[in-house]
Every structure is written in C-alpha cells, then in structure tokens.
C-alpha cells in the first residue's frame, strides 16, 4: 500500500484519486457482467463478480488507511471533514458496483430480450456519469496546484454541471426502463421482475453517487 501521508503532502486529493481509481475498477466490471448475462455465460458472471468483490475490498483497505492517516498536523486547503465526506461518496461507488454483482449472482436471471437496447442505453449513460466524475477527480490536483484559481474553479464547475446533466438523463432512461420492465410482466416471472427492478435501481444509485461526488466538490469549492 502507498504512503498515504506522503501523498497528502503532494496534494490532499492524491490519496482520494488512488481510492477512486480502485472504485472505478469495480465500476468498470459492471457492463461486462451484463454482457455475460446477455450471453447466458453464468460462469463468467461469477468470475467477474469475484473480481468486483476483490477490488471493493482493496478500495476499503485504501479508505481505512486514508481515514487513519489523514493529516491533522499540517495545513490542508480544504476541511478534513470535507475530505472524509468526499471519500465516503467515492466508496459508495464501489459499494454499488458490488451490490450489482451480488444481485446478478443471486439467481440465474433470464435476459429480457425486448429490453436489450434499453438496458444497455441505461448502463452506458450510468457509466458516462461515472466517467465524468473520474475526469473531475483528475482535475483536482490542478485546482490545488493553481491555488484554486478562479479559472480552474470555473472549469471544475462546468465539469460538475456536465455530471448533473448526465445523471438527469440517466434518471429519465431508468424511469423508461422500469416502465418497460413491468410492461413485460406477462412474459417475465414475477421473481425475475422484482430482481431486475432491484438491479436497475442499484444502477441508478451508481449514477446518484457519482453526481453526489460532484455536488460535494461544489460545496468544497464554495468555501474558497
């Protein structure tokens, strides 16, 4: 594991970026799990789910190390509590990806072919929100290096607005998909409909967590 205290001396956001990178490893396996489910490859789903579980555990280790070593004795350009809150939201991303993996391995779900396009449109939009959040995180060291220069703050705010717009679009797709799912109640077993509903809901949570990271950063920037 890296020297978190050393990373904090470089930038208060460097350890957070390391944690987010591990959380994004979890997120990156979400779409392949659905692709494996569409192909009926349940062994691959199990294998991918296990990779998610491992990456989520590693993210937890980094999270705990950050919590234990986050500096108390030298100056930080943001409040310690804000950093911890930001860390918690990032961890929520990994947790949601893990929850999706759990749901997809509870039982052998049948792929609802009439919803194929809608499902992947939704997944792609959710992952788009997460990707935009990752780009925002990558911008944080620049903010610190430039001492929260107004121009850099404005650029960060624009990235946050893009995250919010993408999350709103994901919400709309999620609502449409939920309606389409229940319209198939005569063709899909009730237990599968309920499980699919939970899966889609957790995908929505993934987008929500990504948006919340942007919102938390907006509040942090407002203090400068």
Contact 138, 18 (CB under 8 A): no
- pLDDT per position as a tens digit, 149-163: 788 888 889 999 999
Domain boundaries of the chain, sorted by first residue? 4-222
Give the length of the chain: 224
- 217 vs 176, residue with greater confidence: 176
**Cβ within 8 Å of residue 93, ≥6 positions away:** 20, 23, 24, 26, 27, 130, 133, 206, 209, 210, 213
**Cβ within 8 Å of residue 187, ≥6 positions away:** 112, 114
Give the separation between CA 45 and CA 31, rounded to whole angstroms. Answer: 11
Question: In 3-state terms, what secondary structure has residue 42?
Answer: helix
**What pLDDT shows up at residue 153?**
84
Predicted structure pTM score: 0.89
In the CATH hierarchy, which fold is given to the domain comprising 4-222? Answer: Methane Monooxygenase Hydroxylase; Chain G, domain 1 (1.20.58)
**What pLDDT shows up at residue 49?**
98
Give the separation between CA 45 and CA 102, rounded to whole angstroms. Answer: 10
Kindly state the percentage of the chain with pLDDT values over 90.
68
Give the separation between CA 136 and CA 156, rounded to whole angstroms. Answer: 7
Among 2, 17, 19, 11, smallest CA distance to 55 is for 19
Q: What angle do CA 133, 20, 34 make, to 5 degrees?
A: 75
- 64 vs 13, residue with greater confidence: 64
- pLDDT per position as a tens digit, 100-122: 999 999 999 999 999 999 999 99
Rg (CA), the chain: 19
Give the separation between CA 136 and CA 112, rounded to whole angstroms. Answer: 35
Give the separation between CA 172 and CA 191, rounded to whole angstroms. Answer: 24
Fill in the DSSP letter of residue 39.
T
Q: Given a cut of 90, is residue 196 above it in pLDDT?
A: yes
Dihedral angle computed from the Cα positions of residues 176, 177, 180 and 185, in that order, rounded to the nearest 10 degrees: -140
Question: In 3-state terms, what secondary structure has residue 118?
Answer: helix
Q: Given a cut of 50, is residue 73 above it in pLDDT?
A: no
Which of 64-73, 126-135, 165-174, 209-218 bottoms out in mean pLDDT, i.e. has the lowest? 64-73
Give the separation between CA 97 and CA 93, rounded to whole angstroms. Answer: 6
């Amino acid at each position: 594991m890296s020297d978190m205290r050393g990373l904090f001396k470089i930038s208060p956001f460097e350890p957070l970026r390391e944690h987010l990178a591990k959380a994004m490893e979890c997120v990156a396996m979400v779409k392949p799990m659905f692709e494996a489910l569409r192909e009926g490859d349940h062994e691959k789903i199990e294998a991918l789910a296990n990779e998610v579980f491992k990456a989520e555990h590693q993210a937890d280790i980094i999270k705990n190390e950050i919590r234990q070593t986050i500096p108390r004795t030298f100056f930080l350009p943001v409040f310690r509590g804000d950093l911890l809150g930001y860390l918690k939201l990032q961890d929520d991303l990994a947790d949601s990806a893990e929850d999706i993996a759990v749901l997809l391995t509870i039982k052998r779900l049948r792929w609802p072919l009439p919803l194929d396009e809608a499902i992947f449109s939704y997944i792609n939009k959710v992952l788009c929100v997460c990707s935009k959040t990752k780009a925002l995180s990558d911008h944080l060291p620049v903010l610190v290096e430039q001492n929260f220069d107004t121009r850099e703050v404005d650029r960060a705010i624009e990235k946050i607005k893009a995250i919010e717009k993408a999350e709103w679009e994901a919400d709309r797709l999620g609502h449409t998909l939920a309606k389409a799912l229940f319209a198939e109640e005569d063709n899909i077993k009730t237990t599968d409909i309920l499980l699919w509903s939970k899966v889609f809901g957790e995908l929505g949570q993934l987008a929500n967590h990504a948006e919340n990271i942007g919102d938390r950063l907006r509040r942090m920037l407002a203090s400068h």
